[in-house]
Chain A
């Protein structure tokens, strides 16, 4: 079992924690992800638009979702909370 599916098994892992793990691997932030609060601005923390595409791809894989085009903008990926809220909207739709 790989790490991603292990996390999917863990029903207690919050969306925010899974988003953090994706950001850790793909966000290329100037700061450590565990130093960021859930509401902190990821772009101010150094995420580039190119890195955000990799984050989107990894989130689509991690949560087995597809972001509709209207969600592919800066504000949806501006913070850990914003990403988790967007994922919840997709999962509920």
Chain B
């Protein structure tokens, strides 16, 4: 019998915490976060109180050891209150996932995972770079080793919550003579790096993620280089975690918009009991779309969680079948979620269009438009097109 079945987890019920309490805190401050493009600090104080930042840390190292099915449920729930909060939580889990799935053989990274739990550290990501044109699988900069130490500088086009993060996970070339695609992940603690802001973050939506560009300079110990290759950790963890968690929060945004549209429809119905308002039929169609989006991310999350750490399962994640599956999820959900929010606005009408109405859909609409752009759907479609030239779907 597994440990989890006999010893009650004193910190169980995190999803309940998020649904009953944290999402309310996130919602209360979401307008101010959006208006001022500021970090949602109240949400993250509450998440830390619930030890939510170590949800993806293995149980043996103090965390909850949750899989993507549960982590994505957290992100979906949180997105109801504040999309930026949910996106930051998702990005944090992606970084923790990379460390937990690829750093367990390193005493250094095991200790760091314990610290994530103990101090509820927030981990940011530095994958973008001037000169790689949005391709996370290539880097310009590299680790410059000097004995047991390294220097690393990076001109990043964006670092989400760069100022608020307690540590950063950075992609770069393995060594000075490595090609652009031979990358590693490097962990930097706050005391290891300095950030010089190079651009602003005045965007249409997702304003609370606070993601301007920075020039980063750092140094550290070579223990801080995550073992293995980013080619593997990208395909086996970063890409699946990203596309599944992002999809869940885009679903959360869409379902929040539909909830407001439904509230409008119920109001219409109460005015004339006995007749079904025309908008209710429109809502019924949107509800069907919303359901298929939910089943899409939940199914891929469950399928991913069903894979183990065996060599065969980890190899499967390096294959074209999984790459296509994840691409399809990302493109499909990002497009559907935006369409659903658009339909919710049609249903809610002018009350949804007004920013100062309780049925306002504007912020959801602006936030969800980021979905197709963060790792552009055009880029993903062109990669899928290329993979489909050799994929036979003969599984």
Identify A70's interface contact among B181, B182, B319, CB under 8 A. B319
Taking the complex as formed, is A60 at the interface, i.e. its CB lies under 8 A from any CB of chain B? yes
Complex Cα gap A92–B39 (Å): 60
Complex Cα gap A66–B318 (Å): 19
Taking the complex as formed, is A86 at the interface, i.e. its CB lies under 8 A from any CB of chain B? no
**Contacting pair B395 A45 (CB below 8 A):** no
Tell me which residues across on chain B come within 8 A of A53, comparing CB atoms: 386-387, 389-390
A53-B386, A53-B387, A67-B390 as given contacts; A73 in contact with B137, CB under 8 Å: no
Complex Cα gap A50–B387 (Å): 8
Interface members, chain B 6-60 (any A CB < 8 Å): none
**Contacting pair A69 B393 (CB below 8 A):** yes
Identify A75's interface contact among B138, B318, B389, CB under 8 A. B318
A43-B231, A46-B180, A60-B390 as given contacts; A69 in contact with B395, CB under 8 Å: yes
B322 to chain A: closest residue by CB: A73
**Contacting pair B394 A68 (CB below 8 A):** yes
Tell me which residues across on chain A come within 8 A of B318, comparing CB atoms: 73-75
**Contacting pair B390 A48 (CB below 8 A):** no
Tell me which residues across on chain A come within 8 A of B235, comparing CB atoms: 74
Per-position contact with B for A38-58: 1 when CB-CB < 8 Å, else 0? 000001111111100110110
Taking the complex as formed, is B67 at the interface, i.e. its CB lies under 8 A from any CB of chain A? no
Complex Cα gap A46–B173 (Å): 11
Per-position contact with A for B378-395: 1 when CB-CB < 8 Å, else 0? 000001001101111111
**Contacting pair B391 A48 (CB below 8 A):** no
**Contacting pair B181 A69 (CB below 8 A):** no
Chain A residues within 8 Å of chain B by Cβ, number? 24
A30-B179, A44-B178 as given contacts; A69 in contact with B392, CB under 8 Å: yes
Tell me which residues across on chain B come within 8 A of A48, comparing CB atoms: 137-138, 181
Identify B182's interface contact among A44, A56, A68, CB under 8 A. A44
A74-B318, A75-B315, A75-B318 as given contacts; A57 in contact with B181, CB under 8 Å: no
Taking the complex as formed, is A4 at the interface, i.e. its CB lies under 8 A from any CB of chain B? no
Tell me which residues across on chain A come within 8 A of B321, comparing CB atoms: 69, 72
Taking the complex as formed, is B140 at the interface, i.e. its CB lies under 8 A from any CB of chain A? no
* Residue among A43, A49, A60 with most chain B CB within 10 A: A49
Tell me which residues across on chain B come within 8 A of A70, comparing CB atoms: 319, 395
Tell me which residues across on chain B come within 8 A of A75, comparing CB atoms: 315, 318
Taking the complex as formed, is B320 at the interface, i.e. its CB lies under 8 A from any CB of chain A? yes
14 A-B pairs with CB atoms under 8 Å apart are A30-B180, A43-B181, A43-B231, A44-B179, A46-B181, A53-B390, A57-B390, A60-B390, A69-B394, A72-B321, A72-B390, A73-B318, A73-B319, A74-B318
Q: Contact residues of A with B, CB < 8 Å?
A: 29-30, 43-50, 53-54, 56-57, 60, 66-70, 72-75
Q: Contact residues of B with A, CB < 8 Å?
A: 137-138, 178-182, 229, 231-232, 235, 315-316, 318-321, 323, 383, 386-387, 389-395
